[in-house]
Structure 1
Amino acid sequence: MRLLILSLTSLLVFACGNKTENTAMPAPELPVISINANNAITSSEYPASIQGTTNVEIRPQVAGNLEKVFVDEGAFVSKGQLLFKINEQPFREQLNNALASLHAAEAAVINAQLEVDKLTPLVQNKVVSDYQLKAAKAGYKIAVANVNQAKAMVGSAEINLGYTSIKAPVSGYLGRLPKKQGSLVGPADVEALTQLSDVHEVHVYFSLGESDFIAFKSQHAGNSINEKINNLPPVTLVLADNSDYSEKGRIDMVDGQFDKNTGAITLRASFPNAKGLLRSGNTGKIKLDMKHSDALLIPQEATMEVQDKIYVFTVDKTNKVSKQPIVVAGKSGTDYLVTNGIKSGDRIVFKGFENLQEGTVINPEKAKKAIAQK
């Protein structure tokens, strides 16, 4: 009886072992796509700073007490609008003194002319010497010169008086107003009264590295930089919240030389800003489109990012997967443009690779099925 029980137990263990071997996990079925070279357009983004077409520091030209402030911070003002008023009384007195000096000089001219007129016939009749007439004529010229000098003093006093009314040189938006009514202001002040920005159109400055600039130039027709600029397509401004600005801009300036410290060259794009949504000091990014021939594109969803590196799972002839790092040069829609790490004809896992291990053998699905899943 004991022998029978041991035999049955051995058979049971053997049967269980065979069952375990027969239920091994099958190779996972995963969608796989083939990579082929095609023409593509990629978008690259470059940090940019925004400035108004005109940024003016409003500074006093004469010293005095700030009598009135007619505007508020951030207000839109029109060209010629009165912004500040400096106490004009001292400058009006200077003008009155200059006018008085002018009137005295003009009277002196009249007296000098009378002296010349009086001496001229006397010299002709040899009653007085010619020397007296010459002295009178010289006195007349001095009197005329004094008039011109007095007129200049009047003009200077009028200019200084005009400087007490500070007006907007252009239309635009005001900045902060650090000086308040009653403050003593003057031309030597370190801080300006305010800043005024004309932002009906804005200039957006960004930089390209040497290799990017060479590639950028090579894609557009023209023998000179100006000709190439004229053939450039519109560009997009990406705002700080990653939204696209509603208006397109055009590149209209390329700096004359590279920055020796950064190795980059500055470009300028101009954007209309009729609604005043953009202000000087804003930041954003310029999005440039570049054409690529024989480019390798892979869907972004077929990649994974680990510690700032991007990987794909390639599939060899035996359907074994390998985790492969790639170098991405830009984006084309939802695809990455790859310059290194894979080549045309390679296969990569499209989905379901999150838990894949290096060297796993998979059962690839057909490419059409994988594309349909995309």
Structure 2
Amino acid sequence: MKARSVITIGLGLLLFVACKQQEQQQVEGENYPLLTLKPENRQLSVKYSAVIEGKQDVEVRPQVSGTITQVCVEEGAHVQKGQVLFVIDQVPYEAALQKAEAAVATAEANEATAKQTLEGKQLLYEDRVISDFELRTAQNSYKSAKAALLQAQAEKRDAENNLSYTLVKSPVDGFAGMTSYRIGALVSASMTDPLIRVSDNSDMYVYFSLTEKQVLSLTAQYGSLDKALESFPEVSLELNDGTVYEQKGKVDVISGIIDKTTGTVSMRAVFGNEGKRLMSGGSANVIVPYDREECIVIPQGGTYEIQNRIFAYKVVDGKAVSTPIRVFEVNDGKEYIVEDGLKAGDVIVSEGAGLLKDGTVVSGTKTEEN
């Protein structure tokens, strides 16, 4: 009996001590990091899907028909403006030029003969040897000879042009693309596929779009599209592999036309391409920075979520009070900008909010967000 009494007394003492410790802990409060909120400035960014194109991305096509006799370009090679890329069979065009030159020579002789005849008829007419009809006939013959000469000269120029078109040249400086055309291939000016593409990749154009509402907001903020363009910040480029391109870009064009299908306005940013890392036809994301001033920022660790609603614990009279908030997620994945529910001067639990319960007494060191 004595042993049982001793055990009972010992258990009672343990329960008494535990209750005292719990009461003391409740009075002192659980220790959590606290944060006093104040207005702050943040630079945020928004991404827009984009397409990359060369400064000049030209499809090279033949202007005359014939078979390819020479391929003078290597695929992927750097080419210069005016450099010969392909040669089309020149024999028929050289023959056509010789024929046109002969026609010009004949027309020149006929024109000279008609001119001499007219000069003689004029002298005879002045001496009243011939009639007005004969003089007018000579004049008309001379006009016809001059017209025939002009036509022959035009056909000669056309033949010269056609012969020059047999040398297919690069219209720009850039890099040659791939081609499936080889020696002996028959080509024509009406073919749908280009012989080759040449891209000037010294600078790259990156095209993206803003919504009509966003463009109207820019216009309202700056007064006009031109002023909005001047004030537009430098943009970054996120490549398809997730890396950010090392050079910044500048938005240089805002289209003044709204696409009826998408309801968007096209934009163009220019990026330097010294390292030739950007390739024409690629896809990327344009990152546009913008500033949020005098906003309330809290760490995401100071929030918890229930049924797609976000809550924070505001400390009121030493107790944690669950407070629903509306937030904007900062792009660093660590913070929220509070749109509604908290204000400057409020004290919140900045970490471990998911472990707390509403009404818990809390204590800790107050800090201010930097």
TM > 0.5 between the two? Answer: yes
Residue in structure 2 matching 1:82, options 66, 81, 84: 84
| Residue type at the aligned position of 1:284 | A
Give distance in 1, aligned partners of 2:194 and 2:172: 16
Q: Which letter does structure 2 place at the counterpart of 1:184?
A: L
Q: What letter corresponds to residue 232 of structure 1 in structure 2? A: F
Change (3 A) 1:122 1:62: same
**In the aligned structure 2, how far is the partner of 1:81 from the partner of 1:301?**
63
Aligned AA (2:111): V
More deviation in 344-353 or 155-164?
Answer: 344-353
Letter in 2 for 1:363: V
Deviation at 1:61, TM superposition (A): 1.0
Gaps of 5+ in 1: none
Partner of 1:237: 237
Give 1:61-100 correspondences, 5 Å limit.
Answer: 61-100=63-102
Judged with a 3 Å threshold, the aligned counterparts in structure 2 of structure 1 residues 40 and 96 are, in CA distance, closer, same or farther, namely same
Distance 1:160 1:63 in 2: 10
What is the rounded CA distance, in whole Å, between the counterparts of 2:327 and 2:118 in structure 1?
96
SS at match of 1:170: coil
Pair 1:274 & 2:250 matched = no
Partner secondary structure for residue 256 of structure 1: strand
Kept in 1: contact 2:327–2:336 (CA 8 A): no
Instruction: Return the alpha-carbon distance in structure 2 between the equivalents of residues 213 and 334 of structure 1.
Output: 30
Equivalent-residue separation in structure 2 for 1:364 and 1:215 (angstroms): 45
Match of residue 41, structure 1, among 28, 40, 43: 43
TM-score norm. by structure 1 comes to: 0.82
Distance 2:253 2:179 in 1: 33
Q: Residues 62, 31 of structure 1: CA spacing in aligned structure 2 closer, same or farther, 3 A cutoff?
A: same
Determine what percentage of the aligned residue pairs are the same residue: 31
Aligned length: 364
Structure 1 residue 161, shift from structure 2 partner: 1.0
Change in CA separation of 1:190 and 1:156 when aligned onto 2, cut-off 3 Å: same
1:337 correspondence with 2:334: no
The alpha carbon displacement at 1:146 in A equals 0.3
2:362 corresponds in structure 1 to 363
Separation in 2 of the partners of 1:207 and 1:281? Answer: 17
2:201 pairs with one of 195, 199, 206: 199
3-state DSSP of counterpart to 1:192: coil
> In structure 2, what is the equivalent of residue 265 of structure 1?
265
Following superposition, the deviation at residue 5 of structure 1 comes to 8.2
Question: Using a 3 Å threshold, how does the CA distance of structure 1 residues 48 and 109 change in structure 2: closer, same or farther?
Answer: same
Structure 2 runs not aligned, ≥5 long: none
Q: Is the 8 A contact 1:229 1:251 kept in 2?
A: yes
TM-score (norm 2): 0.83
| 2:184 alignment counterpart | 182
Preserved CA contact (<8 Å) 1:42 1:333: no
Bigger shift: residues 151-160 or 98-107: 98-107
Q: For 1:104, what is the secondary structure of its paired residue?
A: helix
**CA 1:171–1:251 in structure 2 vs 1: closer, same or farther (change >3 Å)?**
same
Q: Deviations over 1:280-311 (max 9, x none)?
A: 2222222222222321212355457899x684
Does the CA-based 8 Å contact 1:314-1:349 persist in structure 2?
Answer: yes
Structure 1 pair 212–136 and aligned structure 2 pair: CA distance change class (3 A): closer
Deviation at 1:10, TM superposition (A): 8.6
d(CA) in 2 for partners of 1:74, 1:322: 63
**CA–CA separation in structure 1 for the residues paired with 2:264 and 2:329:** 18
Letter in 1 for 2:364: E
- Separation in structure 1 between the aligned mates of residue 182 and residue 16 of structure 2, nearest angstrom: 92
CA RMSD of aligned residues (A): 3.5
CA distance in 1, matches of 2:343, 2:242: 32
Q: Partners in 1 of 2:90 and 2:357 — Cα distance?
A: 84
How far apart are the structure 2 equivalents of 1:173 and 1:364?
67
Task: Give the superposition deviation at 1:314.
Answer: 2.3
Counterpart position of 2:114: 112
Matching residue's letter, 2:137: A
> Is the CA contact (8 Å cut-off) linking 1:61 and 1:186 kept in structure 2?
yes
Letter in 2 for 1:336: Y
CA distance in structure 2 between the aligned counterparts of 1:76 and 1:283, rounded to whole angstroms: 23
Answer yes or no: is the 8 Å Cα contact 1:329–1:339 preserved in 2. no
Q: How does 1:1-374 map to 2 (within 5 A)?
A: 4=1, 8=5, 11=8, 15=12, 18=15, 22=19, 29-214=31-216, 216=218, 222-300=222-300, 302=302, 311=310, 313-317=312-316, 319-320=319-320, 322=322, 324=324, 326-328=326-328, 330-331=330-331, 335-340=335-340, 342-353=342-353, 356=355, 359=358, 361=360, 363-368=362-367
**SS of residue matched to 1:281:** coil
